[in-house]
């Protein structure tokens, strides 16, 4: 006979990772630079003379699978950051966070990172093997109480397990995405220095999915 406790834990884990299409978003700033079509499950973010924009889910989630097909902006994207990430609250200095971040100076790489109580410094750089602006690719974050996985086109590129005595993201988090000028970070060494010669820059998201049963009111 199967261990009922173990069976319950397994069922809960599977339940956490069931997903549904994203139906509703909130736009944190520059709503004119963000368009959302729930029927086609697409979102467009634009960076131009108005600056960028940021959208998020209307509810937080505690654990689950989050995914989107993303096509990054084309042209000279030096200085820009475009992303898909989870955060307990953007701007909070004690946030939990799990990131995919594209650095405009090189669209053939992506950076992953995570924060616990505002403490990060867990960055890793991953070679994509393609230019992220050439077409749509799938980016997935799988988050549970003791494991985080980052996947690109179905392949796990990073896996982090909770370690005894070490912090691990556990606060309920929104799914966010934004495009912004990151030229000021590390004096331009992180994402490059913004040029703007190919503005407007458009980042496309489609087939965005969030957990079905882990939303927190």
Is 101 labeled as catalytic in the residue annotation? yes
Is 149 labeled as catalytic in the residue annotation? no
How far, CA to CA in Å, does 176 sit from each of 29, 86, 100? 12, 6, 10
Could you say which of 24, 90, 101, 217 is catalytic?
Answer: 101
- Give the pair of three-digit tokens for residue 177: 């995405």
Could you say which of 24, 90, 97, 138 is catalytic?
Answer: 97
Strand intervals (E) in the chain:
19-21, 25-29, 34-37, 42-47, 53-57, 60-61, 64-71, 80-87, 97-103, 109-115, 124-127, 137-143, 147-152, 155-161, 174-181, 201-211, 215-216
Annotated catalytic sites, by residue? Answer: 97, 101
């Amino acid at each position: 006979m199967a261990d009922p406790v173990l069976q319950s834990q397994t069922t809960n884990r599977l339940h956490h990772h069931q997903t549904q299409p994203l139906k509703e978003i909130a736009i944190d700033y520059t709503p004119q630079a963000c368009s959302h079509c729930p029927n086609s499950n697409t979102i467009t973010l634009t960076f131009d003379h108005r600056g960028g924009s940021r959208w998020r889910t209307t509810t937080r989630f505690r654990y689950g699978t989050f995914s989107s097909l993303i096509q990054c902006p084309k042209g000279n994207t030096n200085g820009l950051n475009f992303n898909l990430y989870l955060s307990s609250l953007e701007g909070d200095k004690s946030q939990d966070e799990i990131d995919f971040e594209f650095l405009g100076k090189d669209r053939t790489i992506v950076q992953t990172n995570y924060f616990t109580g505002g403490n990060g410094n867990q960055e890793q750089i991953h070679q994509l093997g393609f230019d992220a602006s050439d077409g749509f690719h799938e980016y997935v974050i799988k988050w549970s109480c003791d494991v985080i996985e980052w996947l690109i086109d179905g392949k796990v590129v990073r896996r982090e397990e909770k370690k005894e005595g070490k912090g691990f993201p556990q606060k309920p988090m929104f799914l966010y995405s934004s495009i912004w000028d990151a030229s000021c970070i590390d004096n331009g060494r992180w994402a490059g220095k913004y040029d703007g010669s190919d503005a407007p820059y458009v980042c496309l998201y489609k087939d965005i999915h969030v957990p079905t049963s882990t939303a927190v009111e």
